[in-house]
Structure 1
C-alpha cells in the first residue's frame, strides 16, 4: 500500500515546512481520517516565491526548445513510472476511483508529451515589405504566471497549469487546492527530477484569498491562470485588472445534454450514466441538464434511475467501486440543500437523494425529473452526483433550454439526424460540444468555455499561445 507522503511547499527546489507557519489538516474523504498537516505560506514565503519566479523567468525565457522538450518529455516518462503511486495518493486525498486517478496521470503525461513537441512549433512570421526593409511578428513568453487550480482533478489541473507556461518559456507559482496538496507536489517533482531548473516552478499553499491577493498585487506576476467557480473567477479577474494582467479563466458550467427521439436509448444511457457520475459528478464538464425529447423521455428517465441505483459506491481504492465519495464535507451538504429545495419546488426524486454510511463524504447517485426551471439546482451548478431530466417537445425548445443559462463550458447532444447535428453545432452556445460522444478533450484540443464559463483555453496549441505575447518589429 502507498503511504501518504509528508507535506511541504516547494520554493526554489526546497521542501519548505515547519517553523511557526499555520497548518491545514488534510482529510481522507472516504474515511474522514487525517492524512497529514499542510504548512501554509506566510508573506515571507510568498516574497521568496515571487523573487524566485522572477529569477527563473529570466533564465527560462532564454532556454532552447530542446531544453524545454527534454524536461517535458522526461517528466512524462516519470509520471508513467510513478503512475500507481501518484494515482493512489490522488484517490486518498480526493476520493475518486483508482481507475480514474490512473487515467488522470496518463492525461498529464500525454499533455506534457504534446507540449514537448509544441515547443518546436512556436512559429512567428515575416511580412511582405519593400526591398531594404523587414517586418517580423514574433511570440515571446508573457512572464511569471500565477496559477490557481481546484481539487476535483488534483493531478490533471496542476498538469495543465504547469505544462503550458513551461513550454512557452515562463516561470510559474502554482497554488493548487489545499485539500489535495500531495498530488500537485508529485507532478511538480516529476518536472524537477526531469531537469527543470529549481527557480522556474514553485508550489505554495495558503489561505486562498490571502495568497491570491498577495501574488496578484505584485508586478512580478504577468499572467493569471485560474480554474474554479465563476464567482471566484470574477473576483480574481477584478484583482488582475488592477495591473492589467493577462488572464485565462476556466470557470463553472451546467452541462446540457440534448437527447432526440431518433436515438438508441440504451446506448445513450450506457455512455451518459457513467459519464454523469464520474468523480461523483464533481467535474466542470459534467453532463447535468438532460433535455430529452418527449417520445423517449420516460424510457430514458426510468433507465437512468435504474442504472444510477445499481452503481457501486465506496472507497475509491477498493476493487469494483464505480463512484467514490465527494471530496469534502461541504459537498454532501450542498447536495442535500439543492436536491431538497428542488423536491420542495415540485421535482420528482427518482433515485438517491441521501447520504450513504456514517463515515466519509458519500452521497448516493441521484436523479431528479420534472424539475421546475426556477429551482436553484436548475440554475446553479450542482457539482455533484445528480442528473436533472426534463421532457421537451421540439428542437427549438431544446436548444433554447440549452442556451438559457449564462454558462457555456461543455454541451452534449445525441441524434442520428445529420442536419440536426449541424444545427446543434451551430446554435448551441458552448466552448466544447460532444455529438454522440463524451470525448470532448485531448492534449491537442483546446479546452475552455464562453459566457460565464470563462475565456481563453488550455491544452492544444492554444494552451501555449495563451502564455505568449505578440511582438511586431519593423526595420527600415
Structure 2
C-alpha cells in the first residue's frame, strides 16, 4: 500500500502547456478513482476553456519550428521516449493498474505495445516520401511532397490510456505536428506520465500539451471549431465521435475516428475448438472485456454449441477477480459503477428474451465495480446484447447452421471494426474473411493489434487508420508542385 501511495504521489497531476506544469486557471480539480475500491486516489487539475485555448495557441505558435525539425532528429527523440517507457515500465504499470483497474500483467503488456508504437513511428519519421515525375504531356514536371497537417487535437480513451495515447501522439510528432492532448478523466495519470517522458526525451516545449478536464465538451469543442487546429483524432463512442466529426467538418479538419464495435466471433464446426477458446479468451477477457475489439457476438455452429459452451464455462470459471495489484489476479473491475450497471442491464435483457444463463450474471459481494465472468447460451436476435457494445466480461453465444446464415448475421450491424473467424478450411476462411464488412479480420486468432498494421473500421466504427505506415499519413498533407520547363 505504501508503494501505491508513493506512485500516485509522484505522478504529475497538473496541466502541461508550453513545457510547463501548472494548475488549472480556475484552480479546480477532479477526483481520480480506484475502480477496484471506489475510493478516490488523488485530485487532478480540471482544465478550463481558457486553459484549452492557451494550449492550442501554444501548439499553433510552435508548429512552424517543430515542422522544420529534421526527420532524423524527430526520430531520435521518439526513440529515446521508447527507451524511457521501458525504463519506467514498473512505475507506469502500477499507476495504470490503480486508475484503470486492470491487472499489472496486462498493464505491462500495454506498456510494451505503447512503446512499440513509439519506436515504429520513430522509424516512420524518416520514411516520409514524395514523388517526382515527368508530366505525361511533356514539357513539365510533377513534384509531390508531404507536409505536416498542422496542430492536432488528440482525444484518448480510458480503457488503454497509454497505448492509445502513444498511437496518436507518436505519429503526430513523427510527421512534424504539434499536439493538444485530452486524456480520459477516468485515467489521466498514465497520460500525464507519458507526456513527462516525451518532455524528458527532448521533445521541445509546446509540442506536446496536455489538458485533463472533467468538462470535455466545454473545453475541447471550441478548440475543434476555432479554425486554429488542422487535425482531430478521437477514440471513443460512436455517438460522441459523430458529434465531433460534425464539428470538425465546419472547419474541414482532417479527421481520424476510432469508434465503437460489435465484433462477431465465428466458430465453425471444423474449427480447432481449443484454439478458438484461446482466441475468445484473448479478445473477450482482455481488460475485462472493455475493449472496442472485444468479441461481442459469439456465433457457434449448432453442432458444436453444447461442447463449446461447456468448455467456455470451464475456462471462465478459472478467472481470479480482484485488485489488479494483487498477486494471481487476472480479472479486474469495470471502470465505473455506471458501466457495471450497463452490463447488468444487457444480461438481464438477454435472459428475459430467452437466453440461457450458463454461469455468472451477477456482481460479487465486494467493494469496487466488479462483475462476474458470464456465459449466455442461445441468445436470440431480439436481445439488446446482440446490437450494443457490452464492454464487460460477458460472452453471448448465438447458434447458426450455415455459412451464408452467419455471414448475413455478422454483417447485420451498423458497426464494422473487426471480425474473428475460426475454421480449418482455408477456402472457407478466405470466403468469409472477404465477406466480412469490417476494417480488420482475425483469422484463427483472437488479436489484431500490431504496430505495423493499419488499425481501424468501416461503417459506424470510424474513419482513418492508426498504426502501420498508414498511421503517419493521417498527420500529413499532400502538396503538388507543377513545374513548367
- TM-score relative to the length of structure 2: 0.96
2:56 alignment partner in structure 1:
50
Preserved CA contact (<8 Å) 2:25 2:50: no
Structure 1 residue 192 corresponds to structure 2 residue 206:
no
Q: Are the equivalent residues in 2 in contact too, given 1:446–1:463 (CA < 8 A)?
A: yes
What residue ranges of structure 1 are gaps of 5+ in the alignment? none
The answer to whether the 8 Å contact 1:161/1:174 transfers is no
Which runs of no fewer than 5 residues in structure 2 stay unpaired?
none
Alignment of 1:44-443 (within 5 A): 44-129=50-135, 133-206=140-213, 207-443=215-451
> How far apart, CA to CA, are the structure 1 residues paired with 2:426 and 2:49?
58
Offset at 1:287? Answer: 1.2
Q: Deviations over 1:313-347 (max 9, x none)?
A: 11111111111111111111111111111111111
Q: Identify if the C-alpha distance between structure 1 residues 67 and 173 changes in structure 2 by more than 3 Å, giving closer, same or farther.
A: same
**Shift of residue 306 of structure 1?**
2.0
Report the CA distance between 1:364 and its aligned residue.
0.6
Separation in structure 1 between the aligned mates of residue 429 and residue 24 of structure 2, nearest angstrom: 57
Question: By how many angstroms is 1:257 displaced?
Answer: 0.7
Q: C-alpha distance in 2, partners of 1:471/1:418?
A: 43
Cα 1:309/1:127, change in 2 over 3 Å? same
Q: Deviations over 1:5-45 (max 9, x none)?
A: 35111111111216643221111011112111111112221
Question: 1:41-97, CA deviations, whole angstroms, 9 ceiling, x for partnerless residues?
Answer: 122212210110001211111110111101110000000000010011000000011
Hey, what's the Cα distance between the residues in 2 that align with 1:240 and 1:266?
A: 46
Q: How many residues align?
A: 476
Q: Do 1:24 and 1:39's aligned partners in 2 also have CA atoms closer than 8 Å? A: yes
3-state SS in 1 of match to 2:357: strand
Q: Distance in 2 between matches of 1:367 and 1:103?
A: 26
Q: What SS is found at the alignment partner of 2:168? A: helix
Q: Is the 8 A contact 2:299 2:398 kept in 1?
A: yes
Report the 3-state secondary structure (helix = DSSP H, G, I; strand = E; otherwise coil) of the residue aligned with 2:232: strand
Change (3 A) 1:6 1:164: closer
Tell me by how many angstroms 1:133 deviates.
Answer: 2.9
Cα root mean square deviation, aligned: 1.3
Does the CA contact (< 8 Å) of 2:278 and 2:446 recur in 1? no
Partner-residue secondary structure (3-state), 1:108 = helix
Indicate the SS of the match to 1:277: helix
CA displacement at 1:150 relative to structure 2:
1.1
How many angstroms does 1:274 deviate by? Answer: 3.9
Distance 1:274 1:465 in 2: 30
Q: Is the 8 A contact 1:408 1:452 kept in 2?
A: yes
Distance in 1, matches of 2:225 and 2:282, equals 43
User: 1:310: Cα distance to partner?
Assistant: 2.0
2:21 is aligned, of 15, 20, 29, to: 15
Could you tell me whether the CA contact under 8 Å between 2:276 and 2:445 is conserved in 1? no
**Aligned equivalents of 2:220 and 2:384: distance in 1?**
29
What is the alpha-carbon distance in structure 1 between the residues aligned to residue 65 and residue 365 of structure 2? 53
The answer as to whether partners of 2:275 and 2:444 remain within 8 angstroms in 1 is no
Does the 8 Å contact 2:279/2:444 carry over to 1?
no
Q: In structure 2, the residue corresponding to 1:363 is in which secondary structure?
A: coil
- On the 8 A contact 1:21/1:42 being kept in 2, the answer is no
Match of 1:31 in 2: 37
Indicate if the aligned counterparts of 2:282 and 2:447 stay in contact, CA closer than 8 A. no
Q: In the superposition, relative to structure 1, how do residues 244 and 19 fare at CA in structure 2: closer, same or farther (>3 Å)?
A: closer
Distance in 2, Cα, partners of 1:110 & 1:358: 37
Q: Distance in 1 between matches of 2:400 and 2:133?
A: 53
Query: Which is worse superposed, 28-37 or 266-275?
Result: 266-275
SS in 2 for 1:458: coil
Note the alpha carbon deviations across 1:367-417, whole angstroms, 9 max, x for none.
111112121111111111111101110000111111011111111010000
Measured against aligned partners, the alpha-carbon deviations of 1:121-147 in whole angstroms (never above 9, x if no partner) come to 110001223776322011111110111
Per-residue deviation, 1:350: 1.1
Name the stretch that deviates more: 293-302 or 411-420.
293-302
Partner Cα distance (2:238, 2:374) in 1:
24
Q: Is the 8 A contact 2:374 2:395 kept in 1?
A: yes
